Amino acid sequence: MTKDHPAGKTTRRAFMRGAVAGGVGTLAAGGAANAAGDGAILEVQPWARELGAGVDASGYGMPSPHEAGVHRTPVDWLTADPFASINFTPIHKLDGIITPNGVCFERHHSGAAQIDPAAHRLMINGLVERELVFTMDDLQRLPRENHVYFLECTANSGMEWRGPQLNGVQFTHGMIHNVMYTGVPLRVLLAEAGVKPSGKWVLFEGADAAGLTRSVPMEKVMDDCLVAFAMNGEALRVEQGYPLRLVIPGWEGNMWIKWLRRIEVGDAPWHAKEETSKYTDLMPDGRARRFTWVMDAKSVITSPSPQMPIRHGKGRMMLTGLAWSGRGTIPRVDVTLDGGKNWHMARMDGPSLDKSLHRFYYDFNWDGGEMLLQSRAHDNTGYVQPTKAALRALRGVNSTYHNNGIQTWHVGRDGEVENVEIS
């Protein structure tokens, strides 16, 4: 396999020769550009013959109709009804590190609550000097911060514990999104209320019909948690907790309480339903891990993948994917094309932010043969993403949660891609 990027240099030289000789064919032969002589470049297209849409056509822009295939998708058999359910971010179609607001995956326990912000309140009670109730306007007066964080459902890849099941990266890894949050640090809010010395835990409660509650230790709350009212520069989307949600960087998604209405300070965890009967990890011996909050380092190749087969034949191509860690940043991702016999260092690109998605690329020439693609993330604590076999040896297959094992895609000679496992 080609190392580093000689393909890029070759193509640039080919382009120069082609330009000097005046022969466009030289360019087509040398690299990825195959459209010379095509009517689409030689003829005037319809959109060049008429006026486009005016600036009064749409007050809030939408993607091109040609991008209609880029959307969240549920898996019907995963849940009994759409109100306590999930859908998946189309990560196979996205690039960079920011997830557009309209395609951030959803997980609801009682549907997406429609809240009038004028009637929404945030209450702080329990072991505090002053019990407080904030309006949304009150919260807007407090100091705020901006941070890009990934939010991953702890059940992301959860259907893959017993073997390859869902044939698409959207479904195996799409319970994740990554946006810039704007919000007030919890340490600012709790300073307003004054935490009593006995206050060691904090309960967060949603205003939706599920009233979802989770306990969070005070240390994490005071470190980097936010109550956020904006994502990617605009108000939260309804399905992401409008008008207010909790942000717990690096920790499992169900704790990021949406439609946040109440914060209670206590001296012990509450052992609420969603941290006992749900969101605990059943081990092979029948005991359950509890309070498994941090999302460990993980990566996946988003293209090629089952929903992104190779259509261009052999030769120059681009492989890309995402990596993340609930413990920090991702300085390195390795990629293999042959099921782990040879590993290559991927090219990290874009910002490397704490507890955020990272984007990687691997540029190579495909010889047209079968491939077994894998990626392996290293985070800045030195932790390396494990194989699925290593995870199963420790944790068995009883749990749905915290599956951060290495994903394998099989690429056939026809460019079709399948979810497989190699041992």
**Residue ranges that bind Co ion, judged by CB under 5 A:** 154, 252, 292
Closer by beta carbon to Co ion, 73 or else 292: 292
CB of residue 125 to Co ion, shortest distance in Å: 27
CA atoms within 13 A on the CB side of 360: 25
CA dist 246 → 17, 60, 66, 228 (Å): 57, 27, 35, 6
Q: 293: which 2 tokens?
A: 């909050």
CA dist 41 → 22, 38, 44, 52, 188 (Å): 16, 6, 8, 20, 58
DSSP 119: G
CB of residue 252 to Co ion, shortest distance in Å: 5
Q: 51: which 2 tokens?
A: 């006026």
Closer by beta carbon to Co ion, 248 or else 300: 248
Closer by beta carbon to Co ion, 154 or else 302: 154
Q: What are phi and psi of 328, to 5 degrees?
A: 165, -130
CB of residue 6 to Co ion, shortest distance in Å: 44
CB of residue 85 to Co ion, shortest distance in Å: 19
Taking CB positions, which residue lies at the least distance from Co ion?
A: 292
Amino acid residing at 56: D
Report CA dihedral (51, 56, 57, 60) to the nearest 10 degrees. Answer: 140
Closer by beta carbon to Co ion, 86 or else 319: 86
Closer by beta carbon to Co ion, 334 or else 379: 379
DSSP 60: S
Helical spans, DSSP H, in 274-420: 388-395
CB of residue 154 to Co ion, shortest distance in Å: 5
Closer by beta carbon to Co ion, 251 or else 366: 251
CB of residue 60 to Co ion, shortest distance in Å: 37
H or E stretch covering 204: strand 201-206
User: 379, exposed or middle or buried, with CB in 10 Å at 0-12, 13-18, 19+?
Assistant: buried
CB of residue 133 to Co ion, shortest distance in Å: 31
Nearest-angstrom CA–CA distance, 140 and 80:
39
Closer by beta carbon to Co ion, 239 or else 296: 296
